Structure 1
């Protein structure tokens, strides 16, 4: 495809940084990608493989977003604005994209509405109609006037195919900062957080305090307080990084009396420094929060709150609620207060795993690809999908977040069907538990899984052999066999799986063939080394993390092809009503799929795992959740998060 992304950052470089990360991911996926930037050039923003079109840059001072300034600091003239609009439309005509993404607009950038609307209207007028998407961060600042909210919703309904929300509703849903009505809710696609930073090596000792305050001058107060605190307590080992928007005169004044290397400009190896720091002191902009989540660094957050800015405060408070940070108010901040906050934060335990989705760039590209492929983009699709969306929406309207996960059975070797399955899982960014038959695992399966992303492997019986008596339902580990034989086979199954699969991929989770398991063996599994159990539907087992796969789309007793989708929706509805917090598993069998079943997956995966009312559970977290009280009548629940997974 050809993709055009339009962004204008007016204060810091966060909007450009995120848009550039999406553009790089799009280019890396093989799409010709153009980024049109209307803000000031940012030296640390990478554009690998992306074509940049730079409009005459604009910026603002402080929080006066309605007063646009040109590169010379003068109020932007009408001619400058007209030139930007013409260049934006020229970029659309020249690029001839398949998809257009507007960053923040129409939820923000009202001062630039003329040029963004011109782009959106032109894209909608093309024939065939272009895919038009809005790209927004996790937290917005809603306008005070209700009419402006209605105006935004009208523009979304009239022009846009979807709204890509680059966040995890398990941390903060869009509705926490912006009014979400029914039509908007239908168009929301939560991508997870866009992690644009470099990978960091885990482990090693941490030392020192790293202070940062974004790229603009908005963090000057925090930097000054940190510089004074460093003069008072140099023994804490400070590194203070000032953004390129901080004037040189201010930098020199702050640096007086500080040791060599304590105060410096922002650096491209910031994330590596963060991964080695004992404590991060920073504001709580989007990219800063992602850096903290990616590195697991203890944090003291001083959210920017000038003017009507509430974005950083909300994000910081949600991180603090999960034990991932401490919060210090910006108002009245001085060196003494900062040192008190630092001392308290250093005494807190290190943050634990957060389970939040940081794979937002790849998932954004998958959403764009999926939406662009749909010939019915302007409509809502087939009746069954309409009912599925309505079912999930009804759950969300009652405050229910439906936990969903995916298991596929009978893996033995690398096959075209397995490639197709893994391709779907990666395209839709859905974690997958692959139940492999230990005695039949071929080397090709092990090799293929080395190249797979987001795939865990469970123990699917021993050899998938039917030991049932004549006339009984097939079972390998049913109650008709002696318990010692069952124990021996289950022990051998785990041994073989550990010998043939990597420790990173294998989960000690038992998946009985045909989903049938003797109760005596259930109780004995923890003693054999198993930590989890997954079957079709059953009660909790003491000592095991249980999550079942209850939605099987195959009509096994009839056509052995796709079952009636209405039956699946009925089943889903009953499961939600019976135990809304219990994870619901989709069960597939890639070796048994025909064209109808593959088409079903392609159509249903974006809804089952992309709907705002759904929490996507990663098996790696699902089977490490705290076991539920057996008397509670529900299975384990995944860690909170839009995608409860390690990213």
Structure 2
């Protein structure tokens, strides 16, 4: 049994939620524990005992304004509501401890809710063990008009293990609606259509009778239903049944009933919809995912009026595909009128129109096949997703490494991470990356903030060296100056705090782990007089960022040079090309060893992926030698140490 979390938010109709609930039931039926998180308006769902349902503070839209989120009362959604949704979603993730996370539609859609989906993806990426991350999409996607939005979706997919495409590639491959490139094509798994409802009963002996009209669950179907009542007046010889979704307001429903001619019945949507289709002469509907499944199961001749408002293309593509197979007739929404609809129904009623032969083989077992695909992914060893570094830019760094090695031998490279205080999911992710790449790690811990959980988590971890990250990481810079803890104050105060930092680090972390007497000043800034006094205070090493300062007797100074976090522009990943160029320049200037600086508490998925790719590339380069802090900072040590003996606690 595995634990599965499915996150979905439906904004207009309930189709997305219906499909997600069907998947939840399929997983539960196979013995898995499922958490279904819904962020749309509450809807009636029949869920088995194996499915835990979590309702986020709901949001909705009106019409096709997908970027204008509203609360249930119709008021614009506030930042507080969005924050509450995100917190509840992350709580559901923590509580369920999933082994697989499925995001419905994201990252191909739901851009207006990208922040909360990204938070879930980040949490999944930081968890240890990392759950499989999968996207769940229908057979047709709405392609954004702006290329940068497609690029953003593909960038987000770098964190995903697979995409479950709930359709049949032989009927409607995803590249009919979305640009499938070489990067995402291997991620696609076609499941067939997700249809857990029983097939329609066989029609009663004799001819099919009447016209059944449906318009989905929302008010988007009202224009079709109004036109159908007009068509019923034009064709009084047929009986018409118009089914209205539960999302249509009561006033609009009452208005439809009041305007119905004698040969038309108007009622709310019914659970026996497929049974009605099985005996109907014609179905009139939009071309939503679930409606099409009803038509395919029932074999009822169909007139499709696809929803196309707001430049929507999904339903039109699906309708045209079915029409090309002889499974339906299409009336474009722009041509919808009572008269045109009456003509389309008459054509569908013609004897030749009702004879379609057998249905072509279309996969309709998407629920069980989705379960089998996810079970297969869970059974495999997790793949480490690594983006390809730009070939030309990596070649620039590789050439600099080669030139440096020819002149001075192997180039030492070391890795430092700052700001450790406690056992967090981000720390787990950092340690997982250390194991995956095989790189030793120098972890700068904040002594005054170090919690017992940090030492407990690090106990037993191989190739971890602890450095002293100041005292409390408190800013003492005056207004207008750059942040610093160990500067801008009297020398005696600075020396006292540096000594306290070393003593406190040894007391809180040195018992099980050992602490290197190496100072990493917060914000990488230190007063020159304090740096000169460090050997007298018991330190033998100093590490900041950038080029080294003047030599200090008795002190090994080794800095870091490459920080992938874009601190000034949102804390995402800095431009990879600029990072690699900076590394090449550092190597070319003779600075050694080359140091990578990471910050596990703030890095996003792209930054983690870049670091992983860089470390793997560097480790594979013949001119690079992996360096470890306890060897680099050892007195009279070789500049390269792969295994160096651990320095015992002082």
User: So what's the TM-score if we normalise by structure 2?
Assistant: 0.57
2:552 maps to: none
- 1:160–1:68 CA distance, 2 compared to 1 (3 A): same
Cα distance in 1 for residues equivalent to 2:215 and 2:360: 23
Cα distance in 2 for residues equivalent to 1:201 and 1:308: 37
2:116 maps to: 115
- 1:353 correspondence with 2:353: no
2:520 maps to: none
Structure 1 residue runs without a partner (length 5+)? 381-647
Task: Quote the offset at 1:363 in angstroms.
Answer: 0.4
Cα distance in 1 for residues equivalent to 2:196 and 2:117: 25
Cα distance in 1 for residues equivalent to 2:133 and 2:226: 43
SS of structure 1 residue aligned to 2:243: strand
2:238 maps to: 236
- 1:371 correspondence with 2:374: no
1:124-166, CA deviations, whole angstroms, 9 ceiling, x for partnerless residues? 1111111100000000011111111111111112x10000000
Does the aligned pair in 2 maintain the 1:161–1:378 contact within 8 Å? no
Task: Quote the offset at 1:332 in angstroms.
Answer: 3.7
2:137 maps to: 136
1:589 maps to: none
1:223 maps to: 225
2:311 maps to: 308
1:290 maps to: 293
1:262 maps to: 265
Which aligned segments of 4 or more residues in structure 1 are displaced greater than 4 angstroms?
none
1:190 maps to: 190
2:106 maps to: 105
Task: Quote the offset at 1:95 in angstroms.
Answer: 0.5
Does the aligned pair in 1 maintain the 2:240–2:263 contact within 8 Å? no
Cα distance in 1 for residues equivalent to 2:126 and 2:36: 21
- 1:325-344 counterparts in 2 under 5 A? 325-344=328-347
Task: Quote the offset at 1:260 in angstroms.
Answer: 8.3
Cα distance in 2 for residues equivalent to 1:349 and 1:273: 16
Does the aligned pair in 2 maintain the 1:299–1:326 contact within 8 Å? yes
1:246 maps to: 248
Cα distance in 1 for residues equivalent to 2:40 and 2:378: 28
Cα distance in 1 for residues equivalent to 2:262 and 2:169: 43
1:2-50, CA deviations, whole angstroms, 9 ceiling, x for partnerless residues? 100000000000000000000000000000111000001123x322232
Task: Quote the offset at 1:329 in angstroms.
Answer: 1.0
Cα distance in 1 for residues equivalent to 2:57 and 2:374: 28
1:166 maps to: 166
- 1:9 correspondence with 2:6: no
1:87 maps to: 88
- 1:213 correspondence with 2:215: yes
Task: Quote the offset at 1:54 in angstroms.
Answer: 0.3
SS of structure 1 residue aligned to 2:309: coil
Cα distance in 2 for residues equivalent to 1:300 and 1:152: 34
More off after superposition, 261-270 vs 59-68: 261-270
1:91-121, CA deviations, whole angstroms, 9 ceiling, x for partnerless residues? 0000111110000000000000000000011
SS of structure 2 residue aligned to 1:189: strand
Residue-pair matches, total: 378
Does the aligned pair in 2 maintain the 1:192–1:357 contact within 8 Å? yes
Cα distance in 1 for residues equivalent to 2:193 and 2:278: 18
Task: Quote the offset at 1:200 in angstroms.
Answer: 2.3
User: In angstroms, what is the RMSD of aligned CA positions?
Assistant: 1.4
Task: Quote the offset at 1:305 in angstroms.
Answer: 0.3
Structure 2 residue runs without a partner (length 5+)? 387-650
Cα distance in 1 for residues equivalent to 2:297 and 2:310: 30
Cα distance in 1 for residues equivalent to 2:365 and 2:223: 33
Task: Quote the offset at 1:232 in angstroms.
Answer: 3.2
User: So what's the TM-score if we normalise by structure 1?
Assistant: 0.57
Cα distance in 2 for residues equivalent to 1:334 and 1:36: 40
Cα distance in 1 for residues equivalent to 2:72 and 2:97: 29
Does the aligned pair in 2 maintain the 1:195–1:361 contact within 8 Å? yes
SS of structure 2 residue aligned to 1:350: coil
- 1:198–1:259 CA distance, 2 compared to 1 (3 A): farther
1:523-554, CA deviations, whole angstroms, 9 ceiling, x for partnerless residues? xxxxxxxxxxxxxxxxxxxxxxxxxxxxxxxx
